[in-house]
Structure 1
């Protein structure tokens, strides 16, 4: 029979080894169980102007709760309207939204959500989304767009809604008087220069790139519609938020922290944006977080008054089938800034 040798303390080595192995197995099971218990948020994002999210995706170590008390599964979309469908289908818990996309999701699909933060907007001192035309184009005024082809990023987007409002202000009906072509933001310049569209929508960084090449000028911008336009807010489904408010608070707390970090550490934000957009830092340097960029609230606080104004305008235009109250999308204890 094989002998079992003893350790210095008198414990059989085989028994000690078995105990250590058993302990390691228990520790592994405990870690796996703990990891499984961490709640996960499914979050949609897009480009541009979501620097707070980009920081959370690319610099997660800067957020003590992220990956420890909760996790995020990120999904990239080409615009806000598709994220409404994903939220209605239960595939997303939170996402970035334009006020129009959110409003149409609520009116047409019954989406119930809270606006918890704001990523970007416009002010009198900031960049404003604009539609450009080629130098030498016969289109000199908004009225000249009648019968022409106009580019938008995505059908049904907030930008498309703002276009409708501008056209209406100048006596044109977007559904009857012009033709829309979906180009996406990156493809706007090429669509305009090739003649696919007569007027194209521009946001940064694509606006700066087009201006550097020359031959394009602004025909009108959102500043012609209203001085304070909300472009992108963060929303979370009401059922998720009401069921797990602590989870949403962690997320909004991190969005608040991320916005402050993005604004305070511009050099690092340039690197983060470059990683997300695959644009060189040099291409971002000239505009990102300057007066050539969108306006951002340091605490990511939503401009509810401006959103209500936009809801009212969209209802007048028929883009929303009935009026909406922004208060129905508000829960103060879940709204940025949170510490």
Structure 2
């Protein structure tokens, strides 16, 4: 077995578990680390059959002691979501097996099918991808599971916000005041809860840019039930940090143009937009590192902080 794994080999106990879920005559012929994950180690496993054909699976394992206590909940959410999405208009991996408590593996793990395609984080072509992202999120919110996932959780509070150095203090004080208010009433929807360009796979043809399409949405571990505005706000924040504040505002417009419904009043929309932007203030380093690894070397922590400050100020000017 050839191993191309920058973060260490998969433990024998986990390999044995994976092998038990393969077809008769199949074996693991290659292991490759996948970049971009923050909470879990991701690996692509190439599976070989007796006739020489191959297929790929993806193994997600929670190894970091900081995240392991959350693994059971997150893996159960993802397994339920992948099962729900089978046969729907939302392209996602198929569930193969899950061991949320590490009863059989060295670490809590989930095995799923591999979705072809790639993440695209470049500025070039964002105007083409924006409506695709919006339509995909509308399709996710249209799902009606027989059993609702857990209610959404927001961990950020007005007292835990990290104001960037040199930020517009008045704008941030006003934004923090917004999230001190009670959450607005909302109509619940099925949420991805981390829908953003880093979790969307595209088929992009350089020869036919207009033929770009979404082929997969991944990382369903935070699936929740809550306001559509929260998912939209999260994607807005990520687009603002990747491509500039204006793109964050444009995504909310694109979502409505695609048929999505947001909160009726500007103040309610502002609450969710600001809440997600301020939540990002606590995670700038975690958010920006995978982007740099993916080729956006210019997105240093400082640059992302400056873009976040500009975005929060833009929100307060445009919606406040």
Scaled to the shorter chain, the TM-score interval is under 0.3
TM-score by length of 1: 0.26
Whose RCO is larger (CA < 8 A, sep 6+)?
1
More helix by share: 1
TM-score by length of 2: 0.27
